[in-house]
Amino acid sequence: MKLNWFSPLPPAGTDIAQFTLRVLPALRRALGGGAVTVWTDQDKWDEKQLAGVDVRRYRSGAVPWMEINKADLSVFNIGNNAQFHGAIWQISRQHPGLIILHDTHLHHLFYHLYVEQWQDAKEYLRQIAKYYGEAGRRDAARRMHNVAQEVYYLSEQYPLTPLALENSLGALVHSPVAFDLLRRARRWPLAYAPLPFPAAPLLEAPGSLERFSSGPPFQLILFGYIGRNRQLGAILQALAEFEEREQFRLHIYGELTDQEHWAAQIRELGLRRLVQLRGFVPEAKLDAALSAAHLAINLRYPTMGEASGSQLRIWSHALPSLVSETGWLATLPAAAVAFVRPSNEVADLQAHFRDFLSDPQRFQQIGEQGRRVLLEQHAPDVYARALIECAQMAERFRPQLIARQMAERAGTKLASMLKVNTPDMAASKVGCEIRELLISANTGD
Amino acid sequence: MIATVQVPFIRGGAEAHAEGLRNALCAAGHEAEIVAVPFKWYPPEKILDHMLACRLLDLTEVAGTPVDLLIGLRFPAYLIPHPNKVIWILHQHRTAYELWDHALGDLITWPHGAQVRDAIRQADRQLIPQARAVFANSRNVADRLKKFCYIEAAPLYHPPPHAEEFYCAEAEDYFFFPSRLCLPKRQSLVVEALARTRQPVRVVFAGAADHASIRKELSSLAAKLKVQKRVQWLDRVTEKEKRRLYAHALAVVYPPLDEDYGYVTLEAMLSSKAALTCADSGGPLEFVRDGETGLVAAATPESLAAAMDELWKDREGARRMGEAGRAAYEGMNISWSHVVDRLLA
């Protein structure tokens, strides 16, 4: 089987680029080195990390379809960031393939594309109406003018995920929650495979094992793209109001939305000595920081729904973590994380800080259990096999997708011709013939 | 009822084939009619629309009179349902099959080309076997059907139109290449070969261009290679003129790419002319025996040029091959009465 792989690539500042680096070696092992062609619209990519991989460029408006069609199937990595996934989604719309959903709420992606990039609010609202009815359209129209405040509400109410899948041959998700959510639609072949992450040998991460024998101050770490849903305000408040705050240091790595605001907040709360904004650092430096840390904070509320690569990275370092009890994070084994209830962040964080100070070894065990989960469930080779099975399933779905599209086209024509919405006899005849044409009697597909 | 498709304003061997079959059926005492479905293949979803349209047609009876037999010739008309259907496949939708990943393929250049390709294959695999019997226009077409759709078909040859009117006359100094001017027929390969011949070889091309641009491109190529004085572009000629050009040709050159059947080879044989074709030309290879009834060159300008030079120099050899070709044709039982017997059996 030959696959096209559409994904952001390093050095793009998204964990999905790192995900591709984690999966590709296993996928190439399973399929043979030449069987995967990676496509990107980036001007540059990290040639060292992608050495030996067949990477090709495409440009919107001049897509080399002939080359793309030479593969058996295209795999599209879709997430919420329009900068990284806008072009990929547009290709997937024209050229049906398998979608790997990195978020189950994709409202951000489509809001950015339609409203901000294309300045087409009318089409954005039309899409909302298509999936959520006229009431949804009116609600979104009212709230979109205050999007900074309403974006999470809009994402929760109108995730628009079906729009990402409407011309797809199937979807692969990384959490049971996402699987259950999408299964209800019954429109696409759907599969679940735990997000892959190759566990680094602990010996290569000096300090991982000994970290809990070192005393206070204990190092807290928060990393990644720090948007509003990462609950930084609650974390700072919890720390500022915690009586034994001097026992902790908080290191924040990654891109912060509104950095100046947070720097001011840290000053106002008197946390300058305890909280460090470290910015975006090379991967190796981040790994060293994770190895040296005692406790990670990985809150995501509201959640975009899908598995968090950051959590796997935390586990890779056998690092205990505090996570939101929502979405995929809520499905994690209780022995491998410590939960923080949504909307109760300050109290729960402080309770965990107290527990940590009284019994750091219990948290050490939580970190070690997390690493065991990682090793057992998130091996890239297992993921690659699941992905190939999913790709084969998607290939088999092609006739059904074509049949559905033909039926929709024919239905539209019939409705316009007969001026009724349900031209039963004619529609039934057309449906039977489409089935006869395209659906194999032998397989019952 | 003969079911075929018609691309408006395009006329080639397929149209002559359908008419020949209708005439033969009528001559055998049957009532026969051609139903030609218009066909458009782009954008690719139009192919699907035409497939569905064919499935929705009812040709089982006309005004109360049953249609006893439906003979399907071309995709997607051969998908039209009928309880007593025989398919005699001229060719499948080739860009979904052997021309998918080929320079001549157009389906592959569309974003959803693979979807449509799979739909065509699925429909062919599913519905062709529903016919009472499946024949192919040639061994080449039968082999493709077997290779891609796992369906057996018996090759069934038929004579070209007006087969009885071809004749042989004294050879003059030209090769004859009658065909529509289009990429699959590879007129450009012959022009490039001309530039590599050592003999003063001349080629007369007859046939209308599928697109005006093709004729211009071929003329430009001839000029660029400085062989414009050794080629003649006659465009469309009458059937009578065509037979005259066959009759006086030194030999016939016909190097299409993977041709389904190819009347030109048979017409050359009927005119007692050696046929020069290529090793990847498909249908013609079922008739041209290398060194006996013609020559088979590699599909390169150099190889084709060498073969042209050989025939140009050895007129007596060319004549002998032509006569052998005519004798071979006579021995193959290629007749409409045979075709009618097989289809109605």
- Based on the fold, state whether residues A15 and A140 are members of the same structural domain: yes
Average pLDDT in chain A: 89
| B36 touches A: beta carbon within 8 Å | no
Q: From edge to edge, which strands make up the β-sheet containing B34-38? A: B34-38, B2-6, B70-74, B85-91, B133-136, B154-155
Which of B42, B45, B48 to mutate to test binding with chain A, by most A CBs within 10 Å of its CB? B48
pLDDT at residue A338 above 70? Answer: yes
User: Domain total for chain A?
Assistant: 3
Q: Report yes or no: B109 at the A interface, CB cutoff 8 Å.
A: yes
* B108 vs A66, A401, A409: nearest CB: A66
Q: Are residue A219 and residue A323 in the same domain, yes or no?
A: yes
* B126 to A63: CB separation less than 8 angstroms, yes or no: no
Domain for residue A197, yes or no? no
Residues of B in contact with A69 (CB under 8 A): 108-109, 113-114
CA–chain centroid gap for A241, Å, is: 33
Tokens at A421, concatenated: 């919405």
CB of A421 within 8 Å of a chain B CB? The answer is no
Mean pLDDT over the full length of chain B: 95
**In terms of domains, do A178 and A37 share one?**
yes
Mean pLDDT, rounded, for B154-181: 96
Domain boundary among A172, A192, A212: A192
Flag if B109 and A66 touch (Cβ within 8 Å).
yes
Of A436-445, B7-16, B106-115, B179-188, which range is least confident? A436-445
Percent of chain A with pLDDT over 90: 68
Give a yes or no: residue A411 inside a domain. yes
Contact A70 B51 (CB under 8 A): no
Minimum CA–CA partner of A429 in chain B:
B56
CA A329 to chain centre: 12
Q: Which residues contact B236 (CB under 8 A, 6 or more apart)?
A: B206, B207, B208
The reply to whether A148 and A223 lie within a common domain is no
Contact B108/A402, CB-based, under 8 Å? no
- C-alpha distances (whole Å) from A135 to each of A109, A132, A144, A147, A405 are 21, 7, 14, 18, 27
Mean pLDDT (whole number) for B187-196: 98
A264 and A314 housed in the same domain: yes
Residue A433: closest C-alpha in chain B: B55
Please name the member of B112, B113, B126 whose beta carbon is closest to the beta carbon of A440: B126
The three-state secondary structure class of A177 is helix
In chain A, residues 363-402 whose CB comes closer than 8 Å to chain B: 398-399, 401-402
Asked if the C-beta of B46 comes within 8 angstroms of chain A's C-beta atoms, the answer is no
Provide the shortest C-alpha distance from residue B111 to chain A (in Å).
Answer: 5
Residue A384 lies in a domain: no
CATH number at residue A367: 3.40.50.2000
- Give me the count of residues in chain A: 445
Give the nearest partner residue to A65 out of B48, B110, B123, using CB atoms. Answer: B110
How many Å apart are CA A30 and CA A154, to the nearest integer?
A: 40
Chain B residues in contact with A91 (beta carbon < 8 A) = 111
Q: Do B119 and A438 make contact, defined as CB atoms within 8 angstroms? A: yes
Q: What is the CATH number of the domain that holds A64?
A: 3.40.50
A361 Cβ under 8 Å from any chain B Cβ: no
pLDDT digit string, tens, across residues B259-304: 999 899 999 999 999 999 999 999 999 999 999 999 999 999 999 9
Q: What is the mean pLDDT of residues A11-17?
A: 89
Q: Are residues A69 and A35 in the same domain?
A: yes
| CB–CB contact B126 A433 (8 Å) | no
pLDDT: which is higher, B297 or A224 = B297
Q: How far apart, in whole angstroms, are the C-alpha atoms of residue B268 and residue B177? A: 10
| Residue A177 located in a structural domain | yes
Q: The tokens of B87 are what? A: 């398919």
Task: Answer with the one of A192, A213, A247 that is the final residue of a domain.
Answer: A192
Query: Min CA distance, B76 vs chain A (Å)?
Result: 11
Q: Which of A95, A429, A433 sits opposite B111 (nearest CB)?
A: A95
Residue B161 CB neighbours (<10 A): 16
Across the range B217-239, mean pLDDT stands at: 96
Please give the interface size between A and B, counted as residue pairs whose CB atoms are below 8 Å apart. Answer: 72
Looking at the fold, whether A364 and A281 belong to one and the same domain comes out as yes
Q: Would you call A438 and B108 a contact, using CB atoms and an 8 Å cutoff? A: no
In a domain, A390, yes or no: no
pLDDT in tens, A185-210: 778 899 999 999 988 766 444 455 56
Tell me, what's the pLDDT at A206?
Answer: 46
Q: Is B58 in CB contact (< 8 Å) with chain A? A: no
Q: Kindly determine whether residue A69 and residue B114, on different chains, have CB atoms separated by under 8 Å.
A: yes
Q: Which residue has better confidence, A60 or B288?
A: B288
Res A424: pLDDT: 66
Chain B residues near residue A399 by CB distance under 8 angstroms:
118-119, 122
* Residue A409 touches chain B, beta carbons under 8 Å: yes
Determine contact, residues A145/A119, Cβ cutoff 8 Å.
no
Residue A36 lies in a domain: yes
Contact call for A69 and B116, based on CB within 8 A: no
pLDDT average, residue stretch A13-32 = 92
Which of A398, A430, A434 has the most B C-beta neighbours within 10 Å, making it the best mutation to test the interface with B?
A398
Q: Domain check: are A184 and A292 in the same one?
A: no
Residues in chain B: 345
pLDDT at B178 over 50: yes
Rounded to whole angstroms, the Cα distance separating B314 from B171 reads 12
Residues 6 or more apart whose Cβ sits within 8 Å of residue B37: B3, B4, B5, B6, B50, B53, B54, B57, B76, B77, B80
Residue from the list A94, A401, A406 with its beta carbon closest to the beta carbon of B52? A406
Same domain? A259 vs A113 = no
- Domain identity same for A226 and A141: no
ipTM value of the model? 0.76
Nearest-angstrom CA–CA distance, B134 and B138 = 12
Can you give the pLDDT at residue A208? 53
**pLDDT of the residue at B202:** 98
Q: Cβ–Cβ of A402/B52 closer than 8 Å?
A: no
A296 in any annotated domain? yes
Which residues, numbered 83 to 112 in chain A, qualify as contacts with chain B under a Cβ-Cβ cut-off of 8 Å? 91, 94-96
Q: Which domains does chain B have, with CATH numbers?
A: 2-156 (3.40.50), 163-330 (3.40.50.2000)
pTM, two decimal places: 0.80
Provide the token pair at A324.
């939101």
Residue A128 sits in the same domain as residue A245: no
Burial A76-100 (b: 16+ CB within 10 A, else e): bbbbbbbebbbbbbebbeebbbbbb
Instruction: Give me the domain span that covers residue A305.
Output: 202-378
Domain assignment present for residue A383? The answer is no
Confidence of residue A440 (pLDDT cuts 50, 70, 90): low
CB neighbourhood size of B334 (10 A): 19
For Cα atoms A336, A180, A315, give the angle at the middle one, nearest 5 degrees.
20
- Report CB contact under 8 Å: A402, B49: no
- Residues of chain A with Cβ-Cβ distance to B46 below 8 Å are none
The answer to whether the CB atoms of B48 and A402 lie below 8 A apart is yes
Cβ partners under 8 Å of residue A318, min gap 6: A202, A208, A209, A367, A368, A370, A371
- For residue B13, what pLDDT is reported? 79
Q: Do residue A58 and residue A137 come from a single domain?
A: yes
Whether the per-residue pLDDT at A423 is higher than 60: the answer is no
CA–CA gap between residue B55 and residue B73 (Å, rounded): 15
Tell me the shortest Cα–Cα distance from B98 to chain A, in angstroms.
13
The minimum CA-CA distance between B277 and chain A, rounded to whole Å, is 30
* Tokens (6 digits) for B70: 């439906």
**Locate tokens 């796992």: which residue?**
B150
Q: Where are the alpha helices (DSSP H) in A359-379?
A: 360-377
The 10s digit of each residue's pLDDT in B35-92 is 999 999 999 989 999 999 999 999 999 889 999 999 999 999 999 999 999 999 999 9
> Which chain A residues are closer than 8 Å to B125 by Cβ?
440
pLDDT, tens digit (0-9, with 9 covering 90-100), for A124-173: 999 999 999 999 999 999 998 887 778 888 888 999 999 999 889 999 99
Higher pLDDT, residue B113 or A188: B113
| Domain stop point among A135, A164, A192 | A192
In whole angstroms, give the CA distance from residue B185 to residue B205.
Answer: 11
* B206 neighbors B176 (Cβ within 8 angstroms): yes
Instruction: Check pLDDT > 80 for residue B117.
Output: yes
